[in-house]
Structure 1
Amino acid sequence: MKRSGPLYTLFAGLALGLFVLSLNATTGEGTSSYGKQPAATASPRASASPTASPSPSSSPSPSASKSRARGKTSYAGRTDDDTSAVSISVRGDKAIAYFCDGRSKESWLKGKVEDDGTMRLTGRHGAKLDGRLSGDRVRGTATVDERPYGFTAKKAVKPSGLYRATAEVRGAKIDGGWIVLPGGRQVGIVRRDDEPSAAPRIDPETGRVTVEGDRLTARPVVP
């Protein structure tokens, strides 16, 4: 009877141990690395796209080349050697010029006036006039019969300026040109069937002129 106490205690301990083991197996408290979820990585916040600033509207570039507003203007003057006269009639970007020595040499020329006032006019038989309009005058060179003549033609106030008369009289073709210079001096040539002679004076106020007994009217030249 004395040994039953220790045996009882031994059996009680074994029973308690078996109970604890069975309890652990039932609850499954073990951990495994495969069961762990990786830590969530915070996705970076999408940066707001900047608002595209509107590109400034490009203003239309001014034209490189604008024609000056030119009304009808005449210029008249003498060559540097004082042997001849030159007159130029300008309207807008067009020009007509007349070179005349008052005896037998003459040339009608025409061409364009550029925006900067330069002009290059051409006529028959290789005649040409290169000039530049600046302020109230044209300065340039007229080349007639292969000879250059420097000239200065100042703005002409009516009745000064350039005049021309063309007609057919008694079967003959008449073509006359006149330069009325500031101060009233006139230089001109009349051709009858292409034969030149010094032109008679015209009345600048009316343009009337008598050529070998025939009455004609000379009119201002306009390009």
Structure 2
Amino acid sequence: MKRPGPLLTLLAGLLLGLLTLTLDATAGTRNASSSDQEKPASPTPTSSTASPAPAPSPPPSSRSSSPSSSKIADASYAGRTDDDSSSVAVSVRDGRAIAYFCDGRSKESWLKGPVRPDGSMRLTGSHGAALDGTLRDGSRIRGTVDLDGGHYAFTAPKAVKGSGLYRAAATVRGAKVEGGWIVLADGRQVGIVDREGTPSSAPRIDPETGAVTVDGQPLTATPALP
């Protein structure tokens, strides 16, 4: 009887080889699977088109609408009361005003005060006299004068060359003399000369030079300014 040794040894070797191949294949599959799991996911591509930047805001306007920045133009205004009994003139300079109310005979008043940025004004004078007015469109002043119990509405258009408000003061023959004149655009003049408290109609002045003669003495009337 033959010994089975070599045959068994051969079979054992074959089984061992098959087992080794099976283990290697299993390990390779496991390694490949692990490699696939550990591989990071590809990043999602982003659009290369960027959103447009917002347009810059326009710079604020350099012109301010604040009433305080508005400047009332320097000018003179001269006109008549609605009842045509008297004249009113107003001179505006640097935000202040001086006004003269005159009937050309005996009633007169000098008034002064500030002009507000909106063109309105309240000017005051002696004995409770008051002028309330508003500059409209830079072309005229519309308002009222309260004087000695009377209430006078008036319109004073912007003065043209030669018209406006004039004033003179001097000592004539030892007496203090003060005169006021309103020259209207049509050439008419209304004025009063006060001689130490006694008023009377004023003589005409030369609007070009302001020359006037009072009680035989030559004087010069100049534009009245605040």
Q: CA deviation at 1:151?
A: 0.8
Name the counterpart of 1:123.
124
Deviations 1:58-116 (A, max 9, x none): 2331221564684x5432211012221111234575543221222133123243264x6
Name the CA distance, whole Å, in 2 between partners of 1:84 and 1:197.
Answer: 15
Name the counterpart of 1:43.
43
**Structure 1 contact 131–141 (Cα < 8 Å) conserved:** no
Name the counterpart of 1:17.
11
Identity of aligned residues (%): 42
Name the CA distance, whole Å, in 2 between partners of 1:113 and 1:165.
Answer: 28
Shifted more, 206-215 versus 158-167: the winner is 206-215
Name the counterpart of 1:175.
178
Name the CA distance, whole Å, in 2 between partners of 1:130 and 1:146.
Answer: 18
Matched, 1:186 2:189: yes
Q: CA deviation at 1:39?
A: 4.8
Which runs of 5 or more residues in structure 2 are unaligned? none
TM-score (norm 1): 0.73
Q: CA deviation at 1:131?
A: 2.2
Match of 1:20, SS state, is helix
**Structure 1 contact 200–210 (Cα < 8 Å) conserved:** no
**Structure 1 contact 127–145 (Cα < 8 Å) conserved:** no
| Structure ID, larger Rg | 1
Name the counterpart of 1:165.
168
Amino acid at match of 2:27: T
Name the counterpart of 1:203.
205
Change over 3 Å in CA distance of 1:190–1:203 after alignment to 2? closer
Name the CA distance, whole Å, in 1 between partners of 2:12 and 2:210.
Answer: 148
Which runs of 5 or more residues in structure 1 are unaligned? none
Name the counterpart of 1:53.
53
Change over 3 Å in CA distance of 1:190–1:39 after alignment to 2? same
Match of 1:31, SS state, is helix
Name the counterpart of 1:31.
27
**Structure 2 contact 111–129 (Cα < 8 Å) conserved:** no
Deviations 1:114-136 (A, max 9, x none): 4x6x3314122351231233364
Matches within 5 A, 1:85-96: 85-90=87-92, 94-96=96-98
Q: CA deviation at 1:152?
A: 1.5
Name the CA distance, whole Å, in 2 between partners of 1:197 and 1:89.
Answer: 23
TM-score (norm 2): 0.72
Match of 2:182, SS state, is strand
Higher helix share: 2
What do you get for the CA RMSD once the two structures are aligned? 3.5
